Homo-oligomer: A and B are copies of this chain.
C-alpha cells in the first residue's frame, strides 16, 4: 500500500512545469482527436462495405434456387421460362453492379482461395488441376470474394 497524496502533501507550485504538462496533455488529446477522426472515416467506409456484402450475400440462395427452378425447364420456348431467365440475368446484373460479378471459373486452375472443391473427376480431355465443372457459381472478384464457387476438380486418372 502506497500512501495517498493527501491535502497535507502540498508541493511548491511550479508554473513552468504546469504549463509543460498542460501543453503535453493538450497535444496528446489533439492527436487522439485526429486519430479518432481518421479511424471514424475508415470505419464508416468499412462498415458500409461489410453491410453491402452481408445484404448482397443474402440474395445468393435466391439466385441459386431460381437457377435450379430453371434447370427443370425443358427446351421449349415457354414465355414464363423466358421471362424468368431474363429476371435471373437482371439479378446477376444487380450483383455485378454491387461489385460482385458472377465468376466464370470453368477451366481455370483450381485455387482453394477462390474455389471450394466438392468432388474430383478424371477423364479424357480434362486437364488435371483445373475446374472441370462449376456446381454452384461463385460471386465477386478474387480479392473481394462474396462466395467461392463450388467446383468439381479434374485429377490425373489413378
Contact = CB atoms under 8 A, between A and B. Distances in A.
Interface of A: 15-16, 18-19, 22-23, 25-26, 29-30, 32-33, 36-37, 39-40, 43-44, 47-48, 50-52, 55-56, 58-59, 61-62, 65-66, 68-70, 72-73, 78-81, 83-84, 86-87, 90-91, 94, 97-98
A90 B62 contact: yes
Given A32-B33, A61-B90, A72-B80, 14 more contacts: A15-B15, A18-B19, A22-B26, A36-B36, A36-B37, A48-B48, A48-B51, A51-B51, A51-B52, A59-B91, A62-B90, A66-B66, A69-B86, A84-B84
A118 B6 CA distance: 77
A44 B44 CA distance: 5
Given A32-B33, A44-B43, A80-B73, A87 B65 contact: yes
A70 to B, nearest CB: 7
Nearest to A53: B55
A94 B81 CA distance: 23
A146 to B, nearest CB: 12
Nearest to A23: B22
Contacts of A26: 22, 25-26, 29
A69 B55 contact: no
